[in-house]
Chains A and B, each alone.
Chain A
């Protein structure tokens, strides 16, 4: 790790100000950023911790949706949404290990947009709105590709507005080493249709499987997507699976998510 300054502001305004400095970077739970810094692959001059800002903490109802503070840890999301949004709670409870869940935050995960991360699938399938200190961004506009989002430099996610579907489930098929998603599928059924978001699989990062959404909106059952498949071409190929394998898993895991959501 290189040397850096560390500040832990108490308000969003102070954080925004601190982030205006050159090479300053927001720090959530540090579960992605700190390992990267230890490997000397990131070298911010200042870290602005967001975990001391009360406004960024916790989960509260927001109409039909939940407003989840960006600095809420995975463990807190798991506890706070166990009744209100069980599929989300289950997702949060499957991230990493207890240490990661007690430090890592939803805002950090969404800002990072790792192509194998779990929260992006939940946000996209739920039709979430990513709220920053400047603006609101619909999930459909937010995820732009591998580790890339609509966020501007120094833009802070303050909270995430997650509509709660009538039925939902997240099914995660883990990569054996990292236990991130080799393929993860979040299925959310709303009154006006079904949304299916797939993480881990695509070279473009999290994506909506629209063909499956259409079929499931007609009939919310695993059989409805039995004949569907995604094109292996855009899928990730690595040590842990070929393009064909990932494309196949997308279908299998989606079916399982639908079964779980329908149960």
Chain B
């Protein structure tokens, strides 16, 4: 329970208002595009407008003579410079490592997707750069575009990368040893439900497009990159070590306020490397600001799986086996974490909330002439949940049983639980979340609501689903075995000032999540001081310890835990100082409400007296401990965390137009302990919004020539406020995580994971209620698609 200070609740459990919103809502944030350096030049990237072609020549002569042009770079300028690295190596089911193509900063030899940068014009103004880019003459011999994944892996298919053996990045089997047993179980099953589906390709579209400003200081030899990143330390390591060869002490990466990422700002992009490289080459700051149109063809996309899933059940409706085969689109190049998404973030989740004993997941990752695909809110887990929860729903309909009852019957109920797909769930109570869902969604009242809708000529459907996700990623040694080329710990430095105020430098990064509010709540709780005494700094490699950044709902679970560990060290040291001054033994010192006291006496010292003593060490145990009060901790978790939940969606379908409207939406989540319930509500709301966007509206569509048809908001449908319902959100079911000090699990992706199947299940339910024999519609369930399904 949060502490009540004169009617003001603080500490863990308080819905403290987000302090950062003052600057976000009043236009006083400091975003990368707000950063303008003395004498900076601007870069415009000339991007390919064909999906696939051989680059015969790039003639920059006329363009270079245009007003304001500083210099034009092409692929040739990057010969000998490293390519963009991939941070995860997957080993295929035959024990071979994945095929890993080169990814030059600017195209060399070939262009491989619409948007692939061919040349970069640096000029005195952005408009001059763009003018000159139009004067570059590019000769491209167009090649057939590789778009369809199944065709791409046929023998003789055109290759995206000539030097690879095929367009297959890897053919992954998991757990390979179970392959035959799963086949057997499916053959012998009493019932098998099969479903083929597409997990639609999405564009993340954070409100702030990407921006990069490169700078170089000739006096110190230091490069600085300001960038819209979720993980500046990772960018520094990848770019410094693998692309440009700059050691960390000569490279600073700053990610200031970032206006949303949703995964798309995790990755190291060519434009970042370019600006850093060019700033040094020109001895002049170089800035790039993406337009929205550019974002559509250069930000990594998400999802894009084509899947066949089969669920086997015995005569009593127990799940006996599950087999899935997925084609996962990698796009033209491997983005930073792309290979991990359809494998370790997807296959390991296929057990869901169920005790299915045998599971086999096959994933074929395929290169195509499209923008690279990588993690997007949920990353792999939405794809897993969607297929699993859709096939279970279909099974329930085929068997004529209640969809929730079928799920309940197969729930995992004992924890810890080792799944057949290599992860161990530490805690959970899936019946509790379903019980809660039944209550908050008023499932009992559905029949009456359906009758009311039908009286208006509308079809009403109810869709439910459960999800489990693995987040708080994750133990470094485990991910290392799985192919990660990075550790996944997190760091924090807690610096206590002389008068007691605290600054925490965290390796996590906030791009809207609310760290600046939630993290102080934890420290305030631990020490018993007001939250206002704690400030959070993040996003600058120059003043934060090496950290892995924010994604995979890991900030509080991993970064928060690092901060707890560092604060524990602070408290231990502060107790020693207090013990010395109070002439007691440290073991007898208690810290409560910001007061150190000697147990069983009335002797006490305030927090500020002790912190002052640390920096004015006149009466101080100098022979035992150093002055000062600053501690750093690196926290590497023992396991992922496993939030879970149950969602219900009620839709109305207009049978005349196919239009779906969401009438009710309820989410019962188990996130373990909650630090700030309001922020958690907001995270869930946002996730559900994106989930509804994926389910009903968003779809990134390429034509056969590799042209992106949904290349702007005129054709790519983002959900707006009036497309979304009011949500009933509950997180009172709490089974705390057993292995991190806060007992927290992570809530950032849940909504995006749990929502799409609930929506689609609801629409199918609505159509079947009217006797339509529709068993599946691929997302997005636009009016046209729903109508077409109803009128084959």
Contact = CB atoms under 8 A, between A and B. Distances in A.
Interface residues of B, number: 27
Contacts of B717: 176-177
A177 B293 contact: no
Nearest to B715: A177
Interface residues of A, number: 17
B783 interface: yes
A252 B654 CA distance: 11
B782 A178 contact: no
Given A1-B127, A39-B293, A173-B657, A178 B709 contact: no
Interface string A9-38: 000000000000000000000000000000
Given A173-B657, A249-B657, A242 B784 contact: yes
A240 B782 contact: yes
A94 to B, nearest CB: 12
A178 B709 CA distance: 14
A93 interface: no
B774 to A, nearest CB: 16
Interface in B756-792: 782-784, 787-788, 791
A177 B701 contact: no
Contacts of A2: 131
Contact of A239 (B134, B701, B783): B701
B787 A245 contact: yes
B784 A245 contact: yes
A52 B34 CA distance: 34
B697 A176 contact: yes
Contacts of B699: 239
B405 interface: no
Interface string B620-658: 000000000000000000000000000000000000111
Nearest to A2: B131
B677 to A, nearest CB: 33
Contacts of B127: 1
If over half of B's interface residues share one DSSP class (helix, strand or loop), that class is named, otherwise mixed; here it is loop
Given A240-B782, A249-B657, A177 B713 contact: yes
A39 B127 CA distance: 12
Nearest to A240: B784
B747 interface: no
- Helix, strand, loop or mixed for chain A's interface? loop
A67 B714 CA distance: 32
A248 to B, nearest CB: 7
A252 B718 contact: no
A241 interface: yes
Contact of B714 (A40, A173, A177, A245): A177
Nearest to B720: A179
Interface string B711-747: 0011111100000000000000000000000000000
Interface string A161-190: 000000000000100111000100000000
7 contacts: A39-B293, A173-B659, A176-B717, A245-B658, A248-B787, A249-B657, A252-B656
Return the 7 tightest CB-CB contacts between A and B, nearest first. A177-B717, A176-B717, A241-B784, A178-B714, A252-B656, A245-B784, A177-B715
Interface of B: 127, 130-131, 134, 293, 656-659, 696-697, 699, 701, 709-710, 713-718, 782-784, 787-788, 791
Interface of A: 1-2, 39-40, 173, 176-178, 182, 239-242, 245, 248-249, 252
Given A177-B714, A239-B715, 9 more contacts: A2-B131, A40-B134, A176-B717, A176-B782, A177-B697, A240-B782, A240-B784, A242-B788, A245-B658
